[in-house]
């Protein structure tokens, strides 16, 4: 694994370097937003995981995250934030972060999050390579079809584009079992591959962003089941 950590606190970087070495991961550090964005832009395909602090000198982490997502909609991105407020965390997820970790954090916890996100990313790539035939759609409902290998998605015969990796996985999970209700905890386990210890705002933030992209095309197919969770249902639309 090759990790880019954009973090201005040198002590935090030195601490994480020990854990990266222990796991035999390659890594580089950038200590401000401009340097981090330039390092990523120079070789966007070189990185397996981006760790991004929000409070950065020269360029705010939120803007760096948005710029990274414009360059690559698929690179796994974990935000590191001392802003322990719901609005900041939700905004970060809406911009395209796959996960966030609140400071101060345990290095062991961060390493576990990195491994889980990387594992999920690799499984998704393997699934795309082996599950669907090019040109065919392996998930189809009344008004929806998805090719998980080519990542083509159509709703009401119109293409759905610019989905982040987590939005794609979330939509795939829901659409693969139409009209089945998933709780937020189930979606956390299925899509993120680990527990969020009761913090279910991650699911809500991604659902909100996904709905915004889908409602530009036609009637909403991701339905809220109040008090339970969410389901995909395009029957009768």
Give me the pLDDT at residue 131, please: 47
Q: Look at the domain 132-232 and name its fold.
A: Arc Repressor Mutant, subunit A (1.10.10)
In three-state secondary structure terms, 222 is strand
- Predicted confidence (pLDDT) at residue 198 exceeds the cutoff of 60: no
Distance CA(22)–CA(6), nearest Å, equals 20
More reliable by pLDDT, 67 or 120: 67
Give me the pLDDT at residue 133, please: 47
The lowest-confidence range among 45-49, 130-134, 181-185, 200-204 is 130-134
- Percent pLDDT > 90 in the chain is 38
Q: Hey, CA dihedral for 218, 221, 222, 224, is it positive or negative?
A: positive
Beta strands in 117-186 (DSSP E): 139-140, 144-147, 152-155, 158-159, 182-183
Domain boundaries, the chain: 2-125, 132-232
Give me the pLDDT at residue 135, please: 55
- Predicted confidence (pLDDT) at residue 142 exceeds the cutoff of 90: no
Q: Is the peptide bond before 56 cis (omega within 30 degrees of 0)?
A: no
Mean per-residue pLDDT of the chain: 84
Distance CA(192)–CA(119), nearest Å, equals 10
Q: Look at the domain 2-125 and name its fold.
A: Rossmann fold (3.40.50)
Q: What is the pLDDT of residues 92-118, one digit of tens each?
A: 777 778 888 888 888 998 998 898 888
The DSSP symbol for 237 reads -
Q: What is the pLDDT of residues 162-195, one digit of tens each?
A: 888 888 889 999 999 888 999 988 888 888 776 5
Tokens, residue 6? 């954009």
Q: Give the number of other Cβ atoms within 10 Å of residue 182's Cβ.
A: 22
First-to-final CA distance of the chain:
44
Dihedral angle over CA of 192, 77, 121, 91, nearest 10: 40
More reliable by pLDDT, 210 or 201: 210
Q: What is the pLDDT of residues 7-58, one digit of tens each?
A: 999 999 999 999 999 999 999 999 999 999 999 999 888 899 999 998 899 9
- Predicted confidence (pLDDT) at residue 204 exceeds the cutoff of 60: yes
Burial class for 9, CB neighbours closer than 10 Å (0-12, 13-18, 19+): middle
The lowest-confidence range among 46-50, 127-131, 159-163, 220-224 is 127-131
The predicted model scores a pTM of 0.61
In three-state secondary structure terms, 152 is strand
């Amino acid at each position: 694994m090759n990790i880019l950590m954009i973090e201005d606190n040198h002590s935090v970087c030195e601490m994480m370097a020990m854990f990266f070495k222990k796991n035999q991961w390659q890594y580089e550090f950038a200590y401000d937003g401009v340097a981090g964005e330039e390092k990523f832009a120079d070789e966007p395909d070189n990185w397996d995981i981006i760790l991004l602090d929000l409070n950065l000198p020269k360029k705010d982490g939120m803007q760096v995250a948005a710029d990274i997502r414009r360059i690559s909609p698929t690179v796994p991105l974990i935000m590191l934030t001392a802003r322990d407020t719901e609005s900041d965390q939700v905004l970060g997820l809406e911009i395209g972060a796959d996960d966030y970790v609140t400071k101060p954090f345990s290095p062991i916890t961060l390493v576990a999050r990195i491994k889980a996100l990387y594992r999920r990313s690799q499984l998704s790539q393997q699934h795309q390579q082996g599950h669907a035939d090019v040109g065919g759609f392996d998930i189809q409902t009344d008004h929806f079809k998805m090719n998980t290998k080519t990542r083509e998605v159509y709703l009401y015969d119109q293409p759905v584009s610019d989905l982040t990796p987590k939005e794609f996985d979330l939509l795939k999970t829901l659409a693969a079992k139409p009209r089945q209700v998933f709780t937020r905890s189930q979606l956390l386990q299925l899509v993120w591959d680990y527990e969020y210890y009761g913090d279910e705002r991650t699911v809500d933030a991604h659902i909100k962003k996904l709905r915004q992209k889908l409602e530009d095309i036609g009637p909403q197919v991701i339905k809220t089941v109040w008090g339970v969770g969410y389901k995909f249902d395009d029957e009768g639309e």
